[in-house]
Structure 1
Amino acid sequence: MQLNFYKVIPTIPRPLLHLLPLALLMLILFSLPAYPFQNKLLLTSDTIYPAPCYLTFFKEEKEILTIAEVMKIPTENFKPIPDCSPNFGIDEKGYWFRLEIRNENPEIKEWWAEIDLNTLDKINFFLVDSSGHSIEKFAGNLFPVTMKDTRHRNPLFRMKLEHGKEYTLFIRAASTTFVGFPLMILPLSRLHEKDLTYQMFFGIFYGIIFIMIIYNLILYFYIKDRSFIYYVLYMVGMTVNFLCINGYFTLLPIPFSEYFNYHVFNLDVCFITFSACLFTKAFLNTRLNSPIAHKILNVLQFLCLFLMVCEFIFPKQYLVPITNLVTLLTIFIATGISIHIWKKGYTPAGYYLLAFSTLFIAVIAIILTNFGLMPLNWLTLNGMQIASALESVLLSFALGYRINVLKKSKEDFQEKLITQLQVNEKIKDEVNRNLENMVQQRTSALEATNKILSDQKRIIQQKNTDITDSINYAHHIQKAILPETDVLEKYFAESFIYYQPKAIVSGDFYWFSQLNVNGQNRFIISVGDCTGHGVPGALMSMIGNTLLNEIIVTNKVVNPSQILMELNNSIKKILKQEITFTSAKDGMDISVCSFSMDRASLKTTFMSLSGEGRERNKEQFLEMPDNLIRLEFAGAYHPLLHFRNGQATILLPDRTAIGGFTSENYSFKNQELDINKGDTIYLFSDGYGDQFGFDKNHSTKKPKKFTKKRFRNLLTTIHSYPLKEQKEILMQTFDEWKQEEEQLDDVLVIGLRV
């Protein structure tokens, strides 16, 4: 789509659009000095004398020279300034300037030497009379105000010149930016007139800038468009830049104002470029109109921030040319982006291009001047202020035009939106009518479906009730099969059984019985943990309970290892595990403990020994106390924990289960232990230690296992307590650990105290 630039900006005459961007450049290029070089400046009248055409210069190559060394340099070594343009570009070397002068005006004896440039760092001024006597004065950004001859925005030196006498001026100038030397000699009256003219010019300029800043601030708070605040930042940066160039920062009544003026200039150039990138992105809406350009401007912003940081790290003479190049690059890129977006049909880009074109030309001229590629004159020194004032006015109109464009776009969008809403309303009415018909049809179908679902729900609820009732009845059966706990009180001083199934029925079970076999009074107790829990585990527990009755009560098997071997063979036979592996994992973990409850039974054991063994153990048997009980133990994955006088003993089980992959006629290890009165014994399944939960402090976000180690430590801590109190502690600890977590397995713990 081709756009007509003049239709975009209809309020500006077409010839002006051609001439406005080029006018400043033409004035700069053709305002070259046309004065021939002369050897001596004669002060004859009350006027301003531009001195560049009378100056000769000498460049320091290696070390800084003194005035005495410079005065010894032959006159022919001082060269005239080319084209009377005292611009030497960016050069950190020092330059010596020589000017021969004679006062031919008898009425004026006080003359002033002014350098109309405020970017020089150090200026040493020497006035040498015909006798060789010299007077030294100082100026420049790095000299404090107290060392300067006169408090003025420009380097200014007062000279008392006698009528008819000849003098020689030696001036050394050095700078880390660019070295320019627009020297002029003038009387006090002309100095006042010149300052008055400049103050009027600067007053108008800074007034325009101030009004534009306030105007755009008001627009920002009213419209809330970020482009206005970015433009305000840009204008503030430009204002600071001009205050540096015009030397007003050196006049501030603050400590180290000369240091501030020295460093703030290059820093402010980076800030101006940074804020110009921000404004360009917001004004041209590059994120939407040109994403690639948006990214390029982001890179330039980052580069500007990096240079601002480097200002406090690296020497200034290296940063000044880089900063100028980055600014020049930003100008060309921003111009190209505005042209590209304008051609795409975004009309505010035309105003942006017009407003910035004059400023861009002035900036280019300043940068070329800094590199010594353009002459140093009034227009190159002040063209930036003129272009900036013009640019601020044009850009404020551009922002206003952008507001109108956005407002019109908003109105067009609202109109389209209203039209679309009306169409949508008609579509909605038609859809609603169709939906009503569909709803009526589907309502009938849903009512029929709901009736079917209701009947099915009722059937499922009834079946669920029947199943639950069956399981509850199974619970009563399982509870009836388990032995009465009162039996334990007849044989042990204290006891407890902590039994907490995961479901209604349990896969954990306990079995105990007292019987007399061959005159031996035995009490056998067992804790079993069948495969699974709930109904499958309960079925296995009933099988285990039945088999233990058969093996121990009926068949009178009282040796724990023999009991486990018989139980293993019976389980494998009942579940047909010797034939098929379909049920290979079904079985149980179990511990069996047999107590010899009187000394007579121990005597029977003693008498069964051989002659040599009986003789060896005779003395030990006779020394046995009457209350001594012999304990025999065998286990399949379930250990026994024994405490006596605070010392713990663990009888470890065989690491194999009953049934499953355990071979037929597997021989379990039988272990014996003497039990004294007051000893405490614990049998338990693995449900307590395997429970997941949290400690009291909730130190972890994820639940963790209670662990067998923590369970054994808990028993070690409480083993001396009364057993009823131990049961309460175990129950409370389990509930506090589990909290809201689901119980993972059946829990069974039996404690006995002899």
Structure 2
Amino acid sequence: MVRTNSNLKNFCKRYRFKTSASLLFFALFLFPNFLFSKEANEFCPGAGTIEVSELVGKFELSRDLRYFSTNNETLSIESILHTGPSLKLIDPQGKIPNFGNSPLDYWFCFHLRNSSEFVTNTIVFVKYPLLDELNFYDVYSDGSYAKRIQGRLFPFSSREIKYRGFGHLLSLSPGETRTLFLRVETQSSMSVPLYVAKEKDFYEFAMEDFILQGIYFGIVGVMTLYNLFVFFLVKDKAYIFYVIYLIFSAILFQLSLNGHIPIFFLPNSPEIVWNAHNLLYFIFLFTTFPMSITFMNLKESSRTGYKALKTMMFIPLVCILLLPLLPYRLMNQVGDYFSMILALGASVVSYYVAFIKRFRPARFFFYAFLVVIIGGIASLLKYMGVLPVNSFTENAFQISMAIEVILMAFGLGDRISIVRKEKEKIQLKAEIDKQKIMAFQKELILAQKLQESTLPQVIPESEGLRTKAGYIPASLVGGDFYDITKAGMVHISCLIADVTGHGVPAAIEAAMLKIAYTQSIHYASSPGRMLERINQSLVGNYKNQFLTAAAVFIDLNQKTLKVANAGHPALYWLKRKEREIQAIRPKGKLIGFSKELVYPEEEYPLAIGDKILLFTDGLWEAWERNEAGDKAYTDGSGEKELLKWLDRRWGDSIDELFASMEDYIRKRNKTTSPEDDITFILFEMV
């Protein structure tokens, strides 16, 4: 026992120094670590710890992370780590962080732990690509940290992971627990859907996402080319406007919205990528207007809707001009609010055109736009922070655009069908009209022959009287009639008439008048009796049509002129001796007005050299025109101008006067047809 005690004392003496040295080593090296190091959860109090070795697929972090916001842009990670447990962190309570268009900076933190016996490569990533700057801080247990910066304002080469969103790679040693801080700022919507996945699982997810994006852009690209091809076939401007709309809305803007532009087009031009987003946004909104107006045919189907959209169309153009002058955030918000107004307004107009005006292609437009409205407003409200971030709000706009493209393809196809049917109707109508025109032309030719048969083929010549007659129809078949008949050796009978209308009816009426005139000439001994017999023959057969006429009898032996008139323009008696023109127009009503009409006569003595001019009122209209065929004088002034013209030609013979009149009329009808038939007859006593 003593030995034992003695041995114990010797042992203590021998190892006293060594024990003291061990205690000193423990005090110097281990105690400071307890003094200065912290547990991982003290850097981000309240946050959950994710066991990375147990991750399967991608894991959404909203249940485990904590966050706070600040307007202090100079806040550093050192000050946050120094604050430690006193940080006032917010629990998102399982909702993906989404704060709308916020000017604040947001800090997020959570813990990762690797309980396995192997190094685990893990990727933390944010799916939303419109974040300007993201600072990833790996905080180790000893308080040190590593920082990685990326974002939309940085070249694509600065990203650790070649992904349309933003990813950060962590290698966790066996048994290691690490705290991750993430600082985010952006001029766009502050939406931060944070996920974590093992490296292999992440790349599988990224590949699936890439394939789905490829399917979307493949559908849209094919439909764009298809509609462009259709445009070249049918030359309908609705198609080219729709192609332009697809290029900017469904392709370029979606490339920007989903973060593909820096991957494929401008990897080292972050400023261009950043500024191009709002520019593409407003161009997309602008192209909606011409597409909507032409597709729904608003100019004819809804004048109010047409004017409203034409007015609203200038707003995106003004916004494009203001982009260099106003802040990005403000213009982005303007675009969001305007797109909501446009979507609601276009849906109202398309509903009216589709279901009230019953324009069938507009129904496809309405349903397509309704889908876009649902998807677009869901995404807009997500960007504004009103709706939460989830699979629906994240993908609603892109899915709705794909559905819209398909529905609009049906609508444009239906439009082609309608246009084809309308074209067939037009072609059928054109063929029917062509047949009608051909039949009408045949009738006109027949009527022309009929009318030509009513006019005298040869002007009778008599000793002591020279005669000239001219006839210029306003159309293929005119409505004027005249005849000159020699009654005996010394009597000349002449009738001039203006039949109502032109064409076949006028030719038939002229034929009836010819028959009546031929009958009356054998029984009537004076011009008045001639008009009375013609009137009695035609009343009731003219179907309430009237005609004007003038009849003259010239007695070459007695050198007298007898005149009767039935509402016809006066004849002009050009007295050679007195050098004056006398208008002769006895009273008389139009033929066909009443059966019991009496036409009084007037008789005048003629002298050698006197001329008589009978004509229809179309002659006056010729004297109202200038040589270019345009109206040079007011209506009704032709008579006055004709008398002036005749007064300047007293010395002309009947041949010279007739040739001058023909030339005058021909020049004025060189470019335009006469408004009315022109008939004129000249007599000269010789």
Q: After TM superposition, is the score higher than 0.5?
A: yes
| 2:392 maps to which of 353, 371, 379 | 379
Q: How does 1:565-580 map to 2 (within 5 A)?
A: none
> Where does the alignment leave 5 or more consecutive residues of structure 1 unmatched?
1-36, 466-754
CA offsets per residue over residues 183-234 of structure 1, 9 Å max, x none?
Answer: 1111111012112211221221111111101100100111111111111111
Q: 1:461 is matched with which residue? A: 649
| 1:283 maps to which of 270, 290, 295 | 295
> Where does the alignment leave 5 or more consecutive residues of structure 2 unmatched?
1-45, 455-477, 484-494, 498-549, 553-570, 573-610, 615-641, 654-686
SS at match of 1:171: strand
Q: Is the 8 A contact 1:124 1:138 kept in 2?
A: yes
CA offsets per residue over residues 428-455 of structure 1, 9 Å max, x none?
Answer: 7778849947645158639996963599
> Given the alignment of the two structures, is residue 39 of structure 1 paired with residue 90 of structure 2, yes or no?
no
Say if 1:441 and 1:162 are closer, same or farther in 2 by CA, change over 3 A: same
Q: Is the 8 A contact 1:249 1:257 kept in 2?
A: no
SS at match of 1:152: coil
Deviation at 1:459, TM superposition (A): 7.0
Q: 2:458 is matched with which residue? A: none
| 1:357 maps to which of 349, 370, 387 | 370
Say if 1:196 and 1:458 are closer, same or farther in 2 by CA, change over 3 A: closer
| 1:150 maps to which of 158, 161, 165 | 161
CA offsets per residue over residues 444-469 of structure 1, 9 Å max, x none?
Answer: 6399969635999787435699xxxx
SS at match of 2:385: coil
Q: How does 1:460-609 map to 2 (within 5 A)?
A: 460-462=648-650
Q: Distance in 1 between matches of 2:270 and 2:239?
A: 33
SS at match of 1:120: coil
Q: Distance in 1 between matches of 2:59 and 2:242?
A: 41
Q: 1:575 is matched with which residue? A: none
Deviation at 1:103, TM superposition (A): 1.8
SS at match of 2:285: helix
Of 424-433 and 208-217, more deviation after overlay is shown by 424-433
SS at match of 1:80: coil
Say if 1:165 and 1:220 are closer, same or farther in 2 by CA, change over 3 A: same
SS at match of 2:349: helix
| 1:239 maps to which of 251, 261, 267 | 251
Q: Is the 8 A contact 1:251 1:257 kept in 2?
A: no
SS at match of 1:54: coil
Deviation at 1:323, TM superposition (A): 0.4
Q: 1:89 is matched with which residue? A: 100
**AA of the residue aligned to 2:66:** T
Q: Distance in 1 between matches of 2:215 and 2:329?
A: 34
**AA of the residue aligned to 2:54:** S
| 1:344 maps to which of 357, 368, 375 | 357
CA offsets per residue over residues 371-418 of structure 1, 9 Å max, x none?
Answer: 111111233222222222222112111101011112222333444455
Say if 1:460 and 1:82 are closer, same or farther in 2 by CA, change over 3 A: same
Q: Distance in 2 between matches of 1:442 and 1:157?
A: 106
| 2:320 maps to which of 308, 320, 331 | 308
| 1:49 maps to which of 55, 59, 64 | 59
Say if 1:460 and 1:38 are closer, same or farther in 2 by CA, change over 3 A: closer
Q: Is the 8 A contact 2:119 2:171 kept in 1?
A: no
Q: Distance in 1 between matches of 2:330 and 2:646?
A: 89
| 2:496 maps to which of 445, 448, 457 | 445
Q: Is the 8 A contact 1:117 1:245 kept in 2?
A: no
Report percent identity of matched pairs. Answer: 24
| 1:113 maps to which of 120, 124, 128 | 124
CA RMSD of aligned residues (A): 3.0
Q: Distance in 1 between matches of 2:308 and 2:119?
A: 60
Q: Is the 8 A contact 1:249 1:258 kept in 2?
A: no
Q: Is the 8 A contact 2:55 2:198 kept in 1?
A: yes
Q: Distance in 1 between matches of 2:207 and 2:411?
A: 33
How many residues in Structure 1 have an aligned counterpart in Structure 2?
Answer: 429
Q: How does 1:118-137 map to 2 (within 5 A)?
A: 118-137=129-148
Say if 1:442 and 1:347 are closer, same or farther in 2 by CA, change over 3 A: farther
Deviation at 1:108, TM superposition (A): 4.0
Q: 1:484 is matched with which residue? A: none
Deviation at 1:246, TM superposition (A): 2.5
Q: 2:24 is matched with which residue? A: none
> Given the alignment of the two structures, is residue 181 of structure 1 paired with residue 221 of structure 2, yes or no?
no
**AA of the residue aligned to 1:137:** R
**AA of the residue aligned to 2:311:** V
Deviation at 1:423, TM superposition (A): 6.0
SS at match of 1:68: helix
Deviation at 1:325, TM superposition (A): 0.7
CA offsets per residue over residues 102-130 of structure 1, 9 Å max, x none?
Answer: 22233342211111110101111111011
SS at match of 2:152: coil
Q: Is the 8 A contact 2:47 2:111 kept in 1?
A: no
Q: Distance in 2 between matches of 1:353 and 1:108?
A: 56
Q: Is the 8 A contact 1:78 1:98 kept in 2?
A: no
| 1:407 maps to which of 400, 420, 424 | 420
CA offsets per residue over residues 90-149 of structure 1, 9 Å max, x none?
Answer: 112111111122222333422111111101011111110111111110111101234333
Say if 1:442 and 1:295 are closer, same or farther in 2 by CA, change over 3 A: farther
Q: Distance in 1 between matches of 2:407 and 2:325?
A: 38
**AA of the residue aligned to 1:40:** T
Q: Distance in 2 between matches of 1:452 and 1:363?
A: 88
Q: Distance in 2 between matches of 1:264 and 1:82?
A: 36
| 2:285 maps to which of 273, 276, 284 | 273
**AA of the residue aligned to 2:231:** Y
Q: Is the 8 A contact 2:138 2:179 kept in 1?
A: yes
